[in-house]
Each structure stands twice: as structure tokens, then as C-alpha cells.
Amino acid sequence: MTSQSQGIQQLLQAEKRAKDKLEEAKKRKGKRLKQAKEEATAEIDHYRLQREKEFRNKETNVMGSQGNLSVKIEEQTTEAIRNLTSSYHKNMEIMMKKLLSTICDISPEIHPNFRPEV
């Protein structure tokens, strides 16, 4: 009977050691999962920062181009206004003389359809 109780004791001890090893493995697994999650989060944050930096650089390049375009358009508009103003001043006197001569220089004529009374 003692051999039987010794066998049972050995089995119980073996079961306890197996249980302890299982719990230890679960703790290591949980710790490793937590560490992997932290590493993945850090890697994701690094990747996100890198992509945001690239996006900002591209955005700056595009917006900078648009800023240059608006400056060019403003310059072209100013030049067009300057040209129109100078053309107006140059041709205004000539047009006023033509208009006044047309209005003031009247040469009366009888209309072709006019029938004098007989």
C-alpha cells in the first residue's frame, strides 16, 4: 500500500509540476503577446509618422506650385490691365474726335423717298 500511495504521490507531484509549467508557459505567452503588441504599435506609429511626413512634403510641393501659379496669374492680370489702360488713353482722343465730327458735321440732304408737293 505504501508503494501505491508513493505512486499516487508521484503522480500528484508530476501533475502539479505539469500544471506549474503550464501556468508558467501561459504567463510567458501573455508577456510575449503584450511585448509583440507594443512592438507592433511602435512600428505602426513610426510608419504613420513617416507617411505623414511624406504627405506633408508632397502637399507643400503642390501647394507651393499653386502659390506660384496664383502669383503668375496676378502678374498676367496686372499686365493685361496695364495694356488695356494704355490702349484706352492712346485711342481715346482719336475716338472722341471721330465721334464729335460725326455728330457735329451734319450735311443736310433730302431723303430719297421724299416727294415734294406738286
Percent of the chain past pLDDT 70, that is, above it, reads 95
What cell was used for 104?
Answer: 457735329
In the block, residue with C-alpha cell 430719297: 112
Q: How confident is the model at residue 65 (pLDDT cuts 50, 70, 90)?
A: low
Domain positions in the chain are 11-77
117: region left, alpha or beta (phi > 0 left; psi from -120 to 50 alpha): beta
What cell was used for 46?
Answer: 513610426
Kindly provide the b/e burial profile for residues 38-50, where b requires at least 16 CB atoms within 10 angstroms of the residue's own CB: eeeeeeeeeeeee
pTM above 0.75, yes or no: no
